[in-house]
């Protein structure tokens, strides 16, 4: 509960005792710690997550606090990690797996899509799969091949999986706990380039449920939509657009499967224009699906085609070329100009 204090006018005002400032990586750490403290069935598994605390130090200190039986350093075997988690879930545990980098998830792809996603349906609901798979993903860190990919569309396409991605420390803290509480498997995509920037976390109020999209900046002329690290890029673009006299609304997708279309469609019906941005390649992507659905459901409100800004349909390039590949504010603003020209 948020503490309250009565001011001289008699108005009850909340204090900020429950609000802390921390980076996104630390917020996930705090959320994991809270989930483990609340439920002894929650355990963590992954490569180097124990003694080292993970390559991004997201699990730092948790093994020392909860012990080696609940924070487990695994072999370098993604398929084995996920397969073991499936067995643990069937045994009543709530495992949280870390995939060290996005591009390392493919050895575990079969376990995730053929087993984890289908187990509950296969048993007609009699077996639940409360498994969370944490995936650091995306670019902007100057890493080598297989360390800066955005594979979220594979999993959003797979029936039986929930797919989410926080963009702020506040959402990271609450969404990881909500994902762990889910009885369905959740793919938890963490934008690694946002691990370090700090933000406020209200420890008393999640503010939005796990699968809700929400408006993070209001505007009237064009809607900008994205998830994860792209949200900060869209906010930057909206700020630049405002200086040029253009009012842009920014919507944080948050949940990639299922998608909460309510706030998205409401925004598009107000602005008449939509630009969808993502780091992943554009072909057969999350952005493609949203563009098609908005065109179907808000066709008569659109004053311009839905435009997409994405990574290119090529493998992620060497680090020295990543700024040419990844969408930035300039590419978003170019799409805004095209939308406004109709």
Enzyme catalytic residues: 147
Closest by alpha carbon to 274, among 324, 314, 221, 322?
221
Closest by alpha carbon to 309, among 295, 297, 326?
326
Taking the C-alpha atoms of residue 195 and residue 8, their distance in angstroms, rounded to an integer, is 41
Peptide bond just before 258 cis, omega within 30 deg: yes
Taking the C-alpha atoms of residue 146 and residue 87, their distance in angstroms, rounded to an integer, is 28
Give, as one character, the DSSP assignment of residue 116. Answer: I
**Polymer length of the chain:** 342
Label residue 228 left, alpha or beta by phi (over 0 means left) and psi (-120 to 50 means alpha): left
Query: Do the beta carbons of residue 234 and residue 332 sit within 8 Å?
Result: yes
Taking the C-alpha atoms of residue 82 and residue 112, their distance in angstroms, rounded to an integer, is 7
Query: Do the beta carbons of residue 132 and residue 184 sit within 8 Å?
Result: no
* DSSP E strands, the chain: 4-6, 12-14, 19-23, 42-46, 71-73, 94-98, 132-137, 162-164, 186-191, 198-202, 214-217, 222-226, 248-252, 255-257, 274-281, 307-311
Query: Do the beta carbons of residue 131 and residue 185 sit within 8 Å?
Result: yes
Please name every residue paired with 19 in a beta bridge, in sequence order, or none if there are none: 202
Give, as one character, the DSSP assignment of residue 206. Answer: -
């Amino acid at each position: 509960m948020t503490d309250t204090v009565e001011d001289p006018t008699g108005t009850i005002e909340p204090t900020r005792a429950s609000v802390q400032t921390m980076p996104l990586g630390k917020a996930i750490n705090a959320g994991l710690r809270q989930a483990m403290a609340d439920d002894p069935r929650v355990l963590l598994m992954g490569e180097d997550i124990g003694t080292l605390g993970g390559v991004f130090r997201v699990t730092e200190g948790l093994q020392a606090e909860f012990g080696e039986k609940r924070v487990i350093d695994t072999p370098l075997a993604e398929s084995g990690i996920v397969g073991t988690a499936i067995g643990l879930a069937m045994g009543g545990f709530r495992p949280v797996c870390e995939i060290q980098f996005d591009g390392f998830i493919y050895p575990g792809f079969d376990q995730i899509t053929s087993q984890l996603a289908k187990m509950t349906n296969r048993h007609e609901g009699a077996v639940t799969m409360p498994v969370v798979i944490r995936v650091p993903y995306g670019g902007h860190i100057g890493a080598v091949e297989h360390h800066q990919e955005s594979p979220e569309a594979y999993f959003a396409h797979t029936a039986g999986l929930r797919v989410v991605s926080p963009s702020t420390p506040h959402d990271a803290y609450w969404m990881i706990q909500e994902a762990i509480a889910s009885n369905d498997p959740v793919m938890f995509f963490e934008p690694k380039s946002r691990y370090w920037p700090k933000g406020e976390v209200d420890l008393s109020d999640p503010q939005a449920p796990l699968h809700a999209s929400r408006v993070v900046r209001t505007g009237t002329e064009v809607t900008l939509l994205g998830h994860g690290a792209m949200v900060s890029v869209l906010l930057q673009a909206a700020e630049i657009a405002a200086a040029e006299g253009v009012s842009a609304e920014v919507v944080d997708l948050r949940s990639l499967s299922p998608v909460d279309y309510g706030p998205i469609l409401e925004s598009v019906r107000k602005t008449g224009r939509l630009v969808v941005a993502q780091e992943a390649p554009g072909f057969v992507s999350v952005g493609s699906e949203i563009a098609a659905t908005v065109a179907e459901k808000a066709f008569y409100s659109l004053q311009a085609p839905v435009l997409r800004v994405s990574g290119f349909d090529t493998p992620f390039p060497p680090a020295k070329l990543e700024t040419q590949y990844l969408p930035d504010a300039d590419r978003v603003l170019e799409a805004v100009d095209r939308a406004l020209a109709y």
